[in-house]
Amino acid sequence: MAHAYTPGLRVTERATVRKERRLPIAGQVLVEAGARVQAEDIVARAELPGDVATVNVVNLLGITPAELSQYMLKSEGDKVERDEPIAETRPWIKWLKSVVRAPVAGTIESVSAITGQVLVRTAPRPVELTAYLDGTVAEVIEREGVVVETHGAFVQGIFGVGGEVHGELAMAVDRPDASIGPGDLGAEFADKIIIAGELVTSDVYERASALGVAALVCGGFHDGDLRRLLGYDLGVAITGHEDIQPILIVTEGFGPMAMAEATFDLLQAHAGQRASANGATQIRAGVLRPEIIIPTEAAASAPAVAEVAMVGLTQGSRVRIIREPGFGRIGAVKALPPAAVQIETESRVRVAEIEFPDGAVVIVPRANLEAIES
């Protein structure tokens, strides 16, 4: 029997998480398989080639390419500083001398007697790759990176912006439906991953940024505030490359939305522990979700739990509605009618009966549902 794939949102106390950490170019791996690492540890390093500046020396000096070597003050491989002379003429009258200077600091990479051009390459840019997780190096990828494995609690949000951070998990609220104001954040929250309740406003975000908070995790965020934060409409894209602090992870949706109790309770149970978080999200397709990973010794020593393959819904499955109407609401599958049903748009689709905690039951197209693993 065929199943329509239902995107899965994981909120679980015990998970085995493996993250591939790979350099953009070949470099040097600094750790061995089996080594214990912390999130901030550098596990691999490489150097990106610097930019190249082209200097058309023959035009500047009024000479031919074949004569270039006679007028060069520097050779291939020589280091130069910005504005340092690299070539000059030698006239009888000194004030008629023409000088060509390096446009950037770097190394003379090429002196061409064919084109008459000199290439100056700036210093290489170091790239350092951190472990991101507290865990163990499960695999070394020669000259490229490592795979880091950890065991612990794992929470996925519905949307996020900003890249990888790590820090202590801290609670700013004591209920999933509570909200905070700028005055509720103090210096004690610097460098921490803050659980901020049902809504983070732009004022709260600005206060957190001024304090140096690592991440804000909340139930909802206004789309207008997101536009102001980024300076543009996000559209359909992959997030995670935004240069912002703190990163933002939204667990439920846009607007004031109480954090799901299961998510809040799990995070609250691990307050004070180190965690890693990443706001990277694949919009629309649901391929990539923002995440919070909390390594725990208890999870590492517990019997292994098989990964759950979420290929379809079953009666009793916990789900979240991911489109209007009802966006963000969480309930359980009460029934899965096998026949297609005509909905308000006059399309015929397969649906599910969803029961909410208050006892209300609604009919929702299966494509508008997201399964929650807990």
Say how far apart CA 229 and CA 160 lie, in whole Å: 12
Q: What is the pLDDT of residue 152?
A: 95
Nearest to 163 by CA among 233, 41, 227, 249: 249
Say how far apart CA 74 and CA 120 lie, in whole Å: 11
Average pLDDT rounded to a whole number, residues 287-309: 69
318-373 topology per CATH: SH3 type barrels. (2.30.30)
Instruction: Count other C-beta atoms under 10 Å from residue 144's C-beta.
Output: 18
- Percent of the chain scoring above 70 in pLDDT: 91
CATH architecture classification, 52-121: Beta Barrel (2.40)
pLDDT in tens, 206-260: 999 999 999 999 999 998 999 999 888 876 668 899 999 999 999 988 888 889 8
CA angle 78, 82, 83 (to 5 degrees): 105
Tokens in use for 195?
């659980």
Nearest to 291 by CA among 8, 10, 40: 10
Burial 289-311 (b: 16+ CB within 10 A, else e): bbbbbbbbeebeeeeeeeeeebe
Say how far apart CA 283 and CA 301 lie, in whole Å: 35
- Report domain extents, the chain: 8-17+150-301, 52-121, 318-373
Q: What is the pLDDT of residue 345?
A: 73
Say how far apart CA 214 and CA 277 lie, in whole Å: 9
Look at 90-104, 108-122, 265-279, 282-296 and tell me which has the smallest mean pLDDT.
282-296
pLDDT band at 2 (very low <50, low <70, confident <90, very high): very low
Q: What is the pLDDT of residue 44?
A: 97
C-alpha dihedral, 190 to 195 to 199 to 200, nearest 10°: 20
CATH 3.40.50 describes domain 8-17+150-301: no
DSSP character at residue 124: P
Burial of 93 (0-12, 13-18, 19+ CB in 10 A): exposed
| Residue 107 predicted with pLDDT over 80 | yes
